Amino acid sequence: MPKIKAIHHVAVVVDDVEKALTFWRDALGIELHELRDVPAEHAQVAFLPIAGAEIELVRPTTEDSGLAKYLAKRGPGMHHICLEVDDLQGLLTQLKEKNVRLINEEPRVAADGKQYAFIHPEATGGALVELYQI
Amino acid sequence: MPKIKAIHHVAVVVDDVEKALTFWRDALGIELHELRDVPAEHAQVAFLPIAGAEIELVRPTTEDSGLAKYLAKRGPGMHHICLEVDDLQGLLTQLKEKNVRLINEEPRVAADGKQYAFIHPEATGGALVELYQI
C-alpha cells in the first residue's frame, strides 16, 4: 500500500520574493538554499530548507499561469502542501478508486525527474495538495 | 541565536472534519492520531502525524472566533504554517528589532504548556505563521 512519507514542502505564493526573504531568511534566520527561475512552472522560486522539509516562496513570472491567476484572485499567501509518497502511481490509482477528484490523473514528470501530481482542493477540505515521488 | 527547528504542522481550516478525514485518513492512508475539541481555540481539531510533522484539520466550533471569521471570509483551505523554534522569547525579541509585525508580541501559553505566538501575514508574504516552543 502506498505510503505518505513526509511533508516535503509548503509553498507560499508571493508578489515580491526579495521582500518575503527579508522575513523568512533575514528575520527568521532560515538559510536560503537556492533562488532560481523555474520556466516550466512560470515561476521564480526561493527554496528554504527546514530540517528535511522546505518552505518555497513562489512568484509567478507570467500573467496567465494558474499560479498568477491564484495570486490575482486570492492575494499572496499559502498556495499548496506537498507530500512525499513512495509510490505515486499506486496512490493515484487508490485515489481514483475512491473517487477523489484529481487535477493530474497520471504522474507528471518535472524537469529534474521528480514525479508529481496535484489533487483538487475540493477533495481535501479546501487545500491544494501536491504529491511527490523523488 | 534562536533557531527554527522544524515545520511542526500545517493547519487546514475545514467546515466538516469527518468529510475531510475521508480524504486525509481514508484515501491518503494517514493515521488519525487524535480528534478532539480544543475549547481554548474554539475549535475541533484532527491531528494527523506525518514523519515528525502533522496535518491539523481545524473546524471552528463558535461563530465569532478569528478562525470562524477566516472560514466565512476565505472558505475552507490552508490556514497557517507552524514552525518549531528553540527559543520563542528570543526569536520574538529578534523579530521586534527587525520591525516584523506580530499578532502576539509575547509568548502565549496553551493549555498543554506549549508556548506559541502568531506572526502577522503582512510580514511573511501573505501566510499566517505560528511559532511553537515545546
- With H, G, I as helix, E, B as strand and everything else as coil, classify residue B57: strand
Q: Which amino acid is at B20?
A: A
Mean pLDDT of A116-123: 97
Taking a contact as any Cβ pair under 8 Å apart, which residues of chain B between 79 and 108 contact chain A? 79-81, 83, 91, 94-95, 98, 100
* Probe site for chain A from B12, B17, B73, B78 (most A CB atoms < 10 A): B78
Among A10, A29, A124, beta carbon nearest to B4: A29
CA B29/CA B96 separation, integer angstroms: 41
Beta-carbon contacts of residue B81 (< 8 Å; ≥ 6 apart): A10, A12, A55, A78, B7, B10, B11, B127, B128, B129, B130
Give the nearest partner residue to A28 out of B4, B28, B55, using CB atoms: B4
> B114 burial class (0-12, 13-18, 19+ CB within 10 angstroms)?
middle
pLDDT value for B110:
87
The reply to whether residue A3 touches residue B29, judged by beta carbons under 8 angstroms, is yes
- Please give the backbone phi and psi of residue B96, each rounded to the nearest 5 degrees, phi first: -65, -40
Tens of pLDDT, residue by residue over A32-66, are 999 999 988 899 999 999 999 999 999 999 999 99
Return the number of CB contacts < 8 Å for A and B.
137
Reported confidence tier of residue B90, pLDDT bands at 50, 70, 90: very high
CATH number of B4-133: 3.10.180.10
pLDDT tens sequence across B97-116: 999 999 999 999 988 889 99
Q: How far is A134 from chain B (nearest CA, A)?
A: 16
| Residue-range domain boundaries for chain A | 4-133
pLDDT at B125 over 90: yes
pTM summary value: 0.95
Q: Which percentage of chain A shows pLDDT scores above 70?
A: 100
Task: Please report which helix (H) or strand (E) contains residue A66, including its range.
Answer: helix A66-74
Question: Residues, chain A, total?
Answer: 134
> What are the respective helix, strand and coil percentages of chain B, to the nearest 5?
30, 40, 35
Q: Please report the pLDDT score of residue A80 as a whole number.
A: 97
Mind listing the pLDDT tens digit for each residue in B29-66?
A: 999 999 999 988 899 999 999 999 999 999 999 999 99
Cell for B23? 480524504
Q: Which of B3, B23, B51 sits opposite A100 (nearest CB)?
A: B23
Enter the ipTM. Answer: 0.94
